[in-house]
Amino acid sequence: MDYGPRPKLFPLLLKCGLLQRLCSDTDDGDEEPVPVALHDIPGGEEAFELCAKFCYGISISISAANLVPALLAARFLRMTEAVAKGNLVAKLEAFFDTCVLQGWKDSIAALQAVWRISGWSESRVVQPCIDSIVEKILSPPAKVTWSYTYTRPGYTRRPHQSVPKDWWTEDVSELDIEVFRSIISTVRASRLLPPPLIGEALHVYACKHLADPLRAAGEANGVLPAEETVVARQRRVLESIVTMIPGEPGSVTGRFLLRLLRVASYVGASSSTRAQLIRQAGSQLDEARAEDLLIPMPSDAQAYDVGAAEAVLEHFLAQFQRPAAPDERRRMSAAMDKVARTFDEYLRTIALDREFPVGKFVDLVECLPDIARSDHDGLYYAIDIYLKEHPELSKADKKRLCRLIDCRKLSPDVRAQAISNDRMPLRTIVQLLFVEQERTMGAAGASHGAAVATDRASVDAVSRLAARAKEDEPSSSAADHKLDVHRPRRDHAPVPDGAAAAAMTRSLSATTKAPPAARKERTPEERGSRMRNKQ
């Protein structure tokens, strides 16, 4: 800014020490005025205008929003008490101490303003604001009387309602990550707030500043913005949040950790950040849902990083290698059952990918040990979806997939559905019929009529299978027959498909006995004649 001639600067000269020095330096006795240049005034022209109005006696309006720019500009111009009594710096500092620092949202607004202008360089404003904010965060909820932002879904503020413990989390999420980290570090050092409350603050901040890649890709039709500045800023925020996660178990949820892992995959976070998230998410995998395991690839948000999901599952399973007390074992057993169901549901989504290779899908299924799945209903549905989406699979690959299903672990309804499923290999259907026969014959208290009806239905089904086997026999390759001799997991020893159907027919026919003939009723004359013969 250039100012001249000098007579117009007299009101400014009276209260601005910087202008007095500049004018004295340029005053060489010449009558021609020399322009005075002011550059890089903090707060820009608006802040300088406030200072100039004050010098000319024009009333100005100061609030938490414009206090910091005006204060920084006044300090830059040296409008101190040493230059003139009742100068602007002293008045603004008094307003800052008595008004801004006493309010909650005013402190937040002032901190945002000073950070945008000067960052940490203006510690005389930054640190008092941080101290004021931390002091209010550590206040008991019953003593919170100031206004705050709280927009949780389903929350409705009512008169005389108690203040929620996390009342402060949304307002501090407006701050820069460096200021936010300073506040969280100070709060944690006090040990006055529980770790889950710190975790909730991290969750709120992440939801505000880190878009979920899956949701963002859906809204952008699968295309995510790749601007380096945006990605770099999100990477900085993510890595800072990960370093602030409390080490205590349960501080954050497993679903939140997996969300951070999705963001880490998208923004290309450091290997140490990804490793920490995988380890922590694995220890809390039982809290997750199937969609939480859908981690997008950095290059294509529509493709999923199954390697990351496998790594999370491996860390979950590693917990079972350590000795545990009986109560802990029961808890872990329940967690294992939940994870198995979640993972099988995840497999159903992966199975929809037409380009996902069958070998990789088999490896993914086998990530869970046999003991983990209490039933195979979810696995059956996942494999059935894969068969439906990959009709070009060879007979050998279909058998390879279906051998993963333990027919004895299918519920009756799912087993009945599988028997009538044309996508199932013939051998799998035969094994299902064997299991169905065992269940029927072993059912205690089953009526003879029901058993006969079930067996006859099974005979009909096997007869149809035998016909299907004869039709398929000529087209069966030598490699397919060779593969048939492999033993299915936990099922009957395999036999050729046609022989299996025939043997099944004979077995079921032998068990289907006709009911005994009705006994003929004797006439009274016949009964009397028999009595005389005995005498």
Distances from the Cα of 323 to the Cα of 105, 320, 367, 370, 514, angstroms: 51, 8, 22, 20, 57
Check: CB of residue 113 under 8 Å from CB of residue 68.
yes
Q: Strand 36-37 vs strand 2-3: parallel, antiparallel, or unpaired? A: antiparallel
Q: Could you say which of 319, 344, 360 is where a domain stops?
A: 319
310 plus 210 within the same structural domain: yes
Check: CB of residue 463 under 8 Å from CB of residue 505.
yes
What per-residue confidence (pLDDT) applies to 36? 65
CA 523 vs. chain centroid, Å, equals: 84
Q: Could you say which of 264, 295, 319 is where a domain stops?
A: 319
Rounded-to-integer distance, Cα 72 and Cα 31, Å: 34
199 plus 303 within the same structural domain: yes
What per-residue confidence (pLDDT) applies to 4? 47
Give the CA angle between residues 238, 243, 246 to the nearest 5°: 120
What per-residue confidence (pLDDT) applies to 2? 47
The pLDDT averaged over each successive group of 10 residues in the chain (535 residues) is: 55 90 68 67 92 94 93 95 95 96 96 87 91 97 93 75 93 96 97 97 97 69 63 95 95 98 94 97 97 89 90 95 87 95 98 96 95 96 98 96 96 95 94 90 56 52 57 46 36 45 45 44 49 45
Copy the structure tokens of residue 205: 């901040």
272 plus 346 within the same structural domain: no
What per-residue confidence (pLDDT) applies to 336? 96
Q: Does residue 394 lie in a domain region?
A: yes
Rounded-to-integer distance, Cα 113 and Cα 65, Å: 7
**377: enclosing H helix or E strand:** helix 377-389
What per-residue confidence (pLDDT) applies to 512? 39
213 plus 310 within the same structural domain: yes
What residues make up the domain containing 313?
194-319
Cα–Cα nearest to 188, from 253, 143, 246, 252: 246
Q: Count other Cβ atoms within 10 Å, centred on residue 362.
A: 16
What per-residue confidence (pLDDT) applies to 458? 56
Rounded-to-integer distance, Cα 184 and Cα 198, Å: 7
Q: Which residues contact 403 (CB under 8 A, 6 or more apart)?
A: 428, 486, 488, 489
What per-residue confidence (pLDDT) applies to 507? 45
Three-class SS state of 206: helix
- For 16, phi then psi, to 5°, come to -110, 110
In one letter, which amino acid is 86? G
Q: Does residue 100 lie in a domain region?
A: no
Between helix 88-95 and helix 64-76 the angle, nearest 10°, is 150
Split into its structural domains, the chain has a count of 3
What per-residue confidence (pLDDT) applies to 47? 94
390 plus 467 within the same structural domain: no
Q: What is the DSSP string of 315-361?
A: HHHHGGGS---HHHHHHHHHHHHHHHHHHHHHHHHHTT-TTS-HHHH
290 plus 210 within the same structural domain: yes
389 plus 282 within the same structural domain: no
Q: Does residue 378 lie in a domain region?
A: yes
200 plus 310 within the same structural domain: yes
